[in-house]
A and B are shown apart, each in its own frame.
Chain A
Amino acid sequence: MTTFLDGAVADPERFSALFDAHYEEIRRYIGRRLDLDIAEDLAAETFLIAFRRRDSFDAAKGGIRPWLYGIATNLIGSHRRAELRRYRALARSEPSDADDSHDQRVVDRVTARVTVQKLSAALAGLSRGERDVVLLVAYGELTYDEVAAALGIAYGTVASRLSRARTKLRDALGVEV
């Protein structure tokens, strides 16, 4: 929690504390969507942009985390093709002999074995807007309100995108996600 920074983001000293508190999770979020070399760059870019815009941060429009996730998601958007390439490469990758290894986790949901390959293909099938809301919830654990704040869209839009995405994912995977 960094609510103590709300309203004090403009202070560079305290902004350093914000970096320390959130760098790792922002880097992890981007790194799960893009290759790590790009993710490292974009994570640094996220905080550089946030630092530059610190004077315009408005706590009334949402917290620090949605603000940072929103900047990061916008940056990811400029690498949409790279993200899709990554999903397609993962979808083509050979399943490991050890299905529960680090890179090849599997969730067995009664009727379907959901693998990295299947899930990557399914994520590639979502629209950019759908993927953004799904992954902000899945990786960032943002609430619908926070997703709306992060992306600057209405709550209802978040809900409808998630609904559509859930349907697409269920159809692709054969299991509720």
Chain B
Amino acid sequence: MKEFQLIDEVMPQVPPADYATMMAARARMLGGARRQRRRVWPKVVLAAAAVSMVITGGFVAAPLVGGSDGSGIQTAAVPPDAVLAAAADRLAAQPPGTGAWWRRDMTQVEWTRTPAYTVERRRRDVLWLSREHGARTQQAQISAKPRTPADEQAWRNAGSPDLCDRCEMVGGYFTPLKLTVSPAMELPAEPQALKAKLLSVYVPQNDKDIPEAIWGASLKDTPETWIWGASPWLLLNAETTPATRAALYRVLAGLPGVRVEDNVIDIDGRTGIALTYGKAPTREQIIIDRDSGELLAIQKELSGTGATFAAYVVKRLGWTDDPAPAQSSFS
């Protein structure tokens, strides 16, 4: 008999940890230097909160995507891979969400270089998806203006020509994956399984049905880099679960040529952890909130004239009970 076995035998046991709790603890650890002590609420308050959740039913407010301001985070000791792993852990621990519609609200930004100046165009781009009601889109011009004061002066010198000759920016809402066969929500949440699934629906590079990719060049390479090329659709245009999105981050981080970089700033000034492919001046980045693991932005830089930079800046993403518009709109 072991020592004090009586105590071990008699005193109440502890139920095993649920997966989400363990993942949250793991993420808190890997989040590292940041101390975020959870307040221990009295049971009465917890019970009241549980009741109010029942009353409010399935309402889930899609969170506003914020990014980190860096003020509360010490990053020096934590390598980028660990930051990404922690962010993915936190994202994976999120429930799939409920609501009638899955909404992705983002701003498209594009810089176009003319011989004399560069124009920045912005469009609001909202996608609504529902298994019962199909898809709706809302696209509207936000602005078109010379990018910098120097560009503005050059534009005036050129006679202030119309800046909106390319205002209808790319916005394909179809996917290169056969997700109608396997709904996006049912994609695997385990990285290896997800990668295998994606590779199983790999579309040959010359298929005319492939729309121009956000990252067109990536599609014309190996199956693995094809996954990189397809990832914007999975992140921006498909109602993938948080767990699948987290798994996708891990798959992408393991692809040849993809590296993880910390403290990357998106075009709206939000700091995150980035998956980066290529190098400037041709660089593609998926920027992720280092706290929540939510997608902040997808950006690409190109060299030469024409479009030199494009960004998809996410404002909101997730299931909601907000009503979708009756019809799609484009302006």
Contact = CB atoms under 8 A, between A and B. Distances in A.
Contacts of A37: 40-41, 43, 46
B29 interface: yes
Given A13-B82, A116-B10, A23 B3 contact: no
Contact of B7 (A24, A47, A51, A135): A135
Interface residues of B, number: 40
Contacts of B2: 141
Interface string A47-79: 110111000000000000000000000000000
B7 A119 contact: yes
20 contacts: A19-B29, A23-B17, A23-B22, A27-B25, A28-B13, A32-B11, A37-B43, A37-B46, A43-B25, A44-B24, A44-B25, A44-B29, A47-B25, A103-B12, A115-B10, A116-B12, A134-B7, A137-B3, A138-B5, A139-B8
B10 A105 contact: yes
A3 interface: no
> Chain A CB within 10 Å — which of B17, B29, B40, B82 has the most?
B29
Nearest to A54: B77
Nearest to A43: B25
A11 B9 CA distance: 37
Contacts of A107: 6, 9-10
Contacts of B11: 32, 116, 119-120
A12 B25 contact: no
A39 B14 CA distance: 10
Contact of A28 (B4, B14, B32, B37): B14
Nearest to B34: A48
A114 interface: yes
B26 A114 contact: no
B53 interface: no
Contact of B32 (A52, A114, A138): A52
A160 interface: no
Contacts of A39: 14
B12 to A, nearest CB: 6
Given A31-B14, A44-B28, A137-B3, 19 more contacts: A19-B25, A23-B17, A23-B26, A28-B13, A40-B25, A41-B40, A48-B31, A51-B29, A51-B30, A52-B32, A52-B33, A52-B77, A105-B9, A114-B10, A115-B10, A119-B11, A134-B4, A177-B4, A177-B6
B252 interface: no
A106 interface: yes
Interface string A1-44: 00000000000110110011001100110011000111111011
The list of the 3 closest CB pairs from A to B, nearest first, reads A31-B14, A138-B4, A44-B25
Contacts of A36: 14-15
A50 B46 CA distance: 29
Interface string B20-62: 0110111011111101011011010010000000000000000
A168 B207 CA distance: 80
B256 interface: no
Given A12-B82, A41-B38, A48 B10 contact: no
A24 to B, nearest CB: 6
Given A24-B17, A44-B25, A103-B12, A12 B6 contact: no
B29 A177 contact: no
A167 B24 CA distance: 42
B108 to A, nearest CB: 36
B150 interface: no
Contacts of B30: 12, 16, 51
B95 interface: no
Interface string B78-103: 11011001000000000000000000
B72 interface: no
B90 to A, nearest CB: 12
